[in-house]
Structure 1
Amino acid sequence: MSGRTGQDESLRDAAVVVTGAGSGIGRSVAHAFADAGARVLALGRRAAKLTETARGRQGIRPFAVDITEPGAPEAVAERALAEFGRIDVLVNNAAVVVRSPLGRIDPEQARQQVATNLMAPMFLAQSCLEPLRAARGTIVNVSTAGAVRGWPGNSVYGATKAGLDFLTRTWAVELAPHGVRVVSVAPGPIETEIAENAGFSEERIAELRRTQRARVPMGRIGQPEEVAWWVVNLARPHSGFTTGVVVAVDGGASVAM
C-alpha cells in the first residue's frame, strides 16, 4: 500500500475481501473500499446482487459463494490470492437473523445463524491468516450493538454477534505479535434489507422502525454508508495502534437507559 501523495491514498491497491457484499452494509463497504482505491473481492450467495454491487466500479470483483459450505473459506482465500496476490483486509460482514423467542427456536434456523454469523468468520479468518500475516493486515468483524444487553426474541442472533466480538478481542491479542489487527464495528438500527430478508411484512417493518427510532437517542435510523466509513477507516494504516476494540455505530442506543 502506498503512502499519501497530496491526498490519503493509504488503501490504494490494497486487497480486500468483503462478505455479504450483495446489499446493505456489505455493499456500502465494498463501494467505500473501491472508492478509496482498493481492490475488492465481493462475496455473496447471489451472483446478480454482486453484479449490481460491482457495477461502475472496476476495482470490485464479484465471487458468488456460500461461505458456510465445506471448503468455501479455502476457496475464498485461493480466489483472493489468484486475483490480487495478497490479502490486506478481511471484512466479516455476512449475517443471517431469524427472530425466535426461547420455546420456538427452530434447530435448522439456529444452525444457519451460527454457521453464517460465527463459524464462517472464524474459518475465513483462519484460511486468510497467512496472507494477512504477510501483509500485516486487518480483520474487521461486523457485529451488532444490540448484543450488549438483553434482546428478547433474538437470543441466537445476539449470541452469535456477542461471540464474534469475543473472537475480535481474543484474536487481537493472539495476532498482535504478527502485526495483524482485529477490530469490530457494531451497528445499531441501520436502513438495510435485513428485515425484508428475514421475511417481515411491510407492516411489521414499519412498526420495527418506529420502535428502533424511539430507542435511538439521535432519533433516526442509521445509513449503511455511516457503518462503512468506520470499517474503511479502521482498516487504514493510520489506525495502526488500534486493535481489539468494538466500535458502536448506533446513534447512542447502546448507552441509553
Structure 2
Amino acid sequence: MTTPTTTPLTGRVALVTGASSGIGRAAATALAHAGAHVIGVARNPERLAETARTHPAITTHPADLRDNHAPTAAVDAALNTHGRLDILVNNAGATAVMALDDTRRDTVDDLFALNVTAPSLLTAAALDPLTQHQGTIVNISSTYGHRPLPGGAHYAASKAALESLTRTWALELAPRNIRVNALAPGPTRSNALAAAGLDPDTITGMQQAEADRVPLGRRGEPDEVAAWITHLADPAHTWLTGQVLTIDGGLELT
C-alpha cells in the first residue's frame, strides 16, 4: 500500500474489528502508517498476527465479538495497553447468500449478531474513552445497505440497519463531540464470499459479474477503502458526522 507522507493520527489509538484480512487488515495498516497505535480484533489469531507484522504499531486482541463479554474486553485491551481510545472502526461482519425460500433462523441470527449487535455493544462499551478524547467512529457498511440484493436480503438488511445506526448515533453523540460516519464499499477484494461457504467457481463468476457492472471496470482494493477510513478518522475533519460515503467505482450510478 502507499505509505502516507504525513502522520495526522500521531498519539491516537484506534480499535479495528475484523482486522485479520481484507478491509480490516488494510485499515489497521493504514491507520498505523498515519501515526496511530492500533489494536486489531478478530477471531483468527494466526491471521491477526499476519496483520500485526505489517506495522510495529499494531497489536492484536483475538476475540469473537458475538461473545457476551467480548466488546468490553476489547475496549479494555486498548485502555490497558495505551491508556486511551480515539478511533473505533466497526468493520467485522458476516455475509450470507440466502434466498427468501431458503431462509434459516440461525443464519439470520448470525448475520445480525455480527453486523448489528456486535458493533452496537462495542460502541456502547467505548463511549467513555471516546467522549474523553472527542473520538470518532467509522462503521463499514456496503452499497447493499441502501440498494436491494436479491438472494441476499438479510445481509442487505443488516447493513441498512448499520447505516441507520450511523445516522442516529451521530445525532445522539454529537453533544459529546463524537463523530460517527460510515463507508459503503462496492465490490471489494476480500475472502467474504469464501467465508460465506461458496465454491471457487461460483466465487469467480460472481466476482467477474461484479467487475463487469462497475463503470471503472474493476472491483475495489482494500487499500482504497482503508484510505477513506483514515480520512474520516483524521481529527482535522471535525465538522463531518452522520454521513454514509459510498465508494464503489461508480456502481451506484448504474
User: TM class by shorter-chain length?
Assistant: over 0.9
Structure 1 residues 252 and 56, CA gap change in structure 2 (3 angstroms): closer
TM-score (norm 2): 0.96
Give the structure 2 partner of residue 34 of structure 1. Answer: 32
Distance in 1, matches of 2:233 and 2:35, equals 13
Give the structure 2 partner of residue 143 of structure 1. Answer: 141
SS of the equivalent of 2:207 reads helix
Distance in 2, matches of 1:202 and 1:238, equals 43
Distance in 2, matches of 1:243 and 1:255, equals 24
Confirm whether residue 233 of structure 1 aligns to residue 231 of structure 2. Answer: yes
| Range with bigger deviation, 114-123 or 247-256 | 247-256
Q: Which runs of 4+ in 1 moved over 6 A?
A: none
Distance in 2, matches of 1:163 and 1:55, equals 34
What is the CA deviation profile of residues 106-148 of structure 1, one whole-angstrom value per residue up to 9, with x for unaligned ones? 1111111100000000010000001000010000000001222
106, 111, 118: which is aligned to 2:109? 111
Distance in 2, matches of 1:232 and 1:188, equals 18
Gaps of 5+ in 2: none
Give the structure 1 partner of residue 152 of structure 2. Answer: 154
Confirm whether residue 51 of structure 1 aligns to residue 49 of structure 2. Answer: yes
TM-score (norm 1): 0.95
Instruction: Answer whether contact 2:7 2:33 (CA < 8 A) is retained.
Output: no
State the percentage of identical aligned residues: 40
SS of the equivalent of 1:239 reads coil
Query: How far 1:56 sits from its partner (Å)?
Result: 4.2
Matches for 1:242-257 after TM superposition, within 5 Å: 242-256=240-254
- Code of the residue aligned with 1:215 in structure 2: it is R
Instruction: Answer whether contact 1:148 1:254 (CA < 8 A) is retained.
Output: no
Give the structure 2 partner of residue 183 of structure 1. Answer: 181
Distance in 2, matches of 1:13 and 1:154, equals 41
- Count of aligned positions: 250
Instruction: Answer whether contact 1:34 1:57 (CA < 8 A) is retained.
Output: yes
Distance in 2, matches of 1:159 and 1:217, equals 25
